[in-house]
Structure 1
Amino acid sequence: MGGRFPAKELPYYIGAQVLGAVVAGGVLYLIASGQAGFDVSAGFASNGYGEHSPGGYSMTAALLTEVVMTMMFIFIIMGATDGRAPAGFAPLAIGLGLTLIHLISIPVTNTSVNPARSTGVALYVGDWATAQLWLFWIAPMIGAALGALAYRFIAQPEALIAPPAPSDHDDDLTGKIVP
């Protein structure tokens, strides 16, 4: 939807992201389990809603939060990596954007904005975390699509609008209007 990634490579990209997140979750599990009294079922950085939301937020609030935060994140990424953006701008814009997104959404869902991140720890928690995982796949996908479309609509409207049909007054070689 953003027009910057070949669709045929998407399954490999998703697979690599999930595999990396599961490995990272395993490393985190090994570290955390070294603490006396560690209880993986207490959350272990999993995303959740209802009684598993850090602030007790509903499923609807979690869904809306993840859609909007992911939409914002993709919009920021697309703008920061646009060829028209200043050189060296992307790391700062993306990092600050993701920091703000976390500050807003940690109390609501523990912040996902990435299905792989959610999956990596949910598999170690199991139970409620895997039962609620669907939301943390669906909401970021919707948000990512909306963010990409919003960016293309605002920054590249010509990419979404069909070119005008040729008329009798167009010069086919240059596209200029001829009398």
Structure 2
Amino acid sequence: MSLKQSGGPVEQEPAETVRAPREGYSLSARIGAEAVGAFLLVGGALGIGMFNPQGGFAVPFGFGFAVAAAMLAFGYISGGHFNPAITLGTALAGRTAWKHVLPYIVAQVAGASLATTVLWVILRSHPANSQSQSLFAAISNHFDASGSSGFSLAGVFLAEAVCTALLVAVYLGATARAARPGSAPFAVGLALSVLTAFLLPVSNAGLNPARSTATVYFGDGTAAGQLWLFWAAPLLGAVIAGLIYRSAEGAPQRATGKAAEGKAAKGKAADFGYAKDDVDVTGADKPQQEPDNGAAEAKDFFDGQGGPASRGNKSAK
């Protein structure tokens, strides 16, 4: 049970009806934010590559700035994933509810696909629209099946898996409770820029299965046949990063004798996103206890209210 002051006598409410304050984003709002963020990320960055083929570092920085802007604009609603690999990694780390994983991924692919459709329509309006297929083929992810003239399947798979694991690790670390408030978009954006610059000559920089899928519709068919790798490798990297982070996050609890408390918190895990509408405030007898599973972290960072103390104060209110 929890207590609520209503101008006179103290009223009681069932504990299960009390929610963390300032939350209430529905699943439809969350997947909408993920779709719009993926649209901005893929449309903006790939548009730079298509319309400025000699842009040099413009493409890596385009991806980095786009994801930072999308996280700042929409992250407080959904968590700012915009990438199936990050969604899977946060779920394995115990920060995203599994019931949200598939809707998030569908929304991300839909938003990215809509972005490339818009780019295709724009290209078709140009007199030299016969080049649209070759341009989409040029920005699609690929590997050299024979290994004779470029990076082979094994090399591309390793590069994509390792780099995606690093990207997911940066996301998890930058949005951790002890991280500097408000730093997550910039940390993730910089990491994405660096990793994209590294992978461009290797595979055209996948890192994001939604981005890889979105370009195959209008290409020459080769990329579609190789698309499986750009799902398998990033998701493997996400699994590695998510499991390692979850293990590392649980180690301090075991060291301080809080294993039972951590297990109970994981049982009440809500979505890691910036919306904490699934997080229960457990009652007035324990007003400062909140599930320590990362579910409430990211919104606090963007609001500049990071840290257990601030969350305890909010719960007490």
TM-score (norm 1): 0.81
* Paired residues of 2:174 and 2:188 also in contact (CA < 8 A): yes
Identity %: 36
What are the residue-to-residue correspondences of 1:43-62 with 2, within 5 Å? 43-50=137-144, 56-62=150-156
For each residue in 1:14-66, what CA deviation from the matched residue of structure 2 results, as whole angstroms up to 9, or x when unmatched?
Answer: 1111111110111122233426251414514110000799x821111110011
Q: CA separation in 1, counterparts of 2:254 and 2:239?
A: 14
The 1:27–1:149 alpha-carbon spacing in structure 2 relative to 1, beyond 3 Å, is same
Q: CA separation in 1, counterparts of 2:102 and 2:211?
A: 16
Partner of 2:181: 87
Bigger mean CA deviation after superposition, 8-17 or 70-79: 8-17
Q: CA separation in 2, counterparts of 1:159 and 1:141?
A: 28
Bigger mean CA deviation after superposition, 86-95 or 150-159: 150-159
List runs of 5+ in structure 1 lacking aligned partners: 165-179
Partner of 1:67: 161
2:100 counterpart of 1:9: yes
What are the residue-to-residue correspondences of 1:18-57 with 2, within 5 Å? 18-33=109-124, 34=126, 36=128, 38-41=131-134, 43-50=137-144, 56-57=150-151
The 1:152–1:143 alpha-carbon spacing in structure 2 relative to 1, beyond 3 Å, is same
Letter in 1 for 2:243: L
Moved over 6 A (4+): 159-162
1:154 corresponds to which of 248, 257, 272:
248
Partner of 1:174: none
Q: CA separation in 2, counterparts of 1:52 and 1:35?
A: 36
* Paired residues of 1:47 and 1:129 also in contact (CA < 8 A): yes
Any idea what SS the aligned residue of 2:131 has? Answer: coil
Cα offset for 1:6? Answer: 0.7
* Paired residues of 2:93 and 2:242 also in contact (CA < 8 A): yes
Letter in 1 for 2:172: M
List runs of 5+ in structure 2 lacking aligned partners: 1-91, 261-317
TM-score (norm 2): 0.47
What are the residue-to-residue correspondences of 1:155-174 with 2, within 5 Å? 155-157=249-251, 163=259
Q: CA separation in 2, counterparts of 1:158 and 1:121?
A: 43
Q: CA separation in 2, counterparts of 1:107 and 1:90?
A: 27
Bigger mean CA deviation after superposition, 40-49 or 112-121: 40-49
Asked which structure has the greater RCO (Cα within 8 Å, sep 6+), the reply is: 1
